[in-house]
Structure 1
Amino acid sequence: MADPITPEISDRICQHMNEDHRDAVLLYAQKFGNTPEAESATLASIDPEGMNLSAIVAGKSVPVRVTFDHTLQDSEDAHQTLIAMVKQSKK
């Protein structure tokens, strides 16, 4: 069974995404956070309802909230949802 989304799991997911999937994090801000002008973005936290990002727009940090289309059940659901969002944003 996958882990529930605790603050520790959120930190682990954010660290992984920010280190290994910066392009995906930027897509989340641009496509799902209604910030198409974002130049870069960092994933700050994730919870069952959504994720908080910090996007750079015109040289300034802007908070961005992305709400998921369903409540996440666990870390595996988060993993699959984040992958699906990248695929959807590239259509």
Structure 2
Amino acid sequence: MSDPITPAISDRICKHMNEDHSNAIVLYAKVFGNLSETETAKMESIDPEGMNLLATIKGETVPLRVKFDHVLKDSEDAHHTLIDMVKQARTSHS
């Protein structure tokens, strides 16, 4: 069974993404946030409609909201959506 996206689930997802998938977050900022010069990025929070990132460009931190293409049902949907977005970003960024 999957969990609804509560603040605690958001924190868990963000911690995992920031620790293990920082390159994916940079791709989200570059491709879905149209910030092609992003050097580093951090996921601050995630909710059913999108994610809030902090992108670093030329030493300046820029807040960024990336909306999902659908409203997430639960944490499992978030997991699959984030993976699909990375695949899409890699395809369009290469």
- Return the TM-score normalized by structure 2: 0.95
Unaligned runs of 5+ in 2: none
Q: RMSD over aligned Cα, in angstroms?
A: 0.4
Give, in angstroms, the shift of residue 46 of structure 1: 0.1
Tell me the secondary structure at the aligned position of residue 90 of structure 1: helix
- Written as runs of structure 1 = structure 2, the 5 A alignment for 1:1-91 is 1-91=1-91
Unaligned runs of 5+ in 1: none
Aligned residues: 91
Give, in angstroms, the shift of residue 66 of structure 1: 0.2
Give, in angstroms, the shift of residue 31 of structure 1: 0.5
Q: Distance in 2 between matches of 1:10 and 1:88?
A: 22
- Share of identical aligned residues, percent? 66
Tell me the secondary structure at the aligned position of residue 56 of structure 1: strand
- Return the TM-score normalized by structure 1: 0.98
Which consecutive segments of 4 or more residues in structure 1 shift more than 4 A? none
Q: Distance in 2 between matches of 1:58 and 1:90?
A: 22
In the alignment, residue 52 of structure 2 is paired with which amino acid?
N
Q: Distance in 2 between matches of 1:31 and 1:11?
A: 23
Q: Distance in 2 between matches of 1:2 and 1:59?
A: 38
Q: Distance in 1 between matches of 2:34 and 2:13?
A: 22
In the alignment, residue 62 of structure 2 is paired with which amino acid?
V
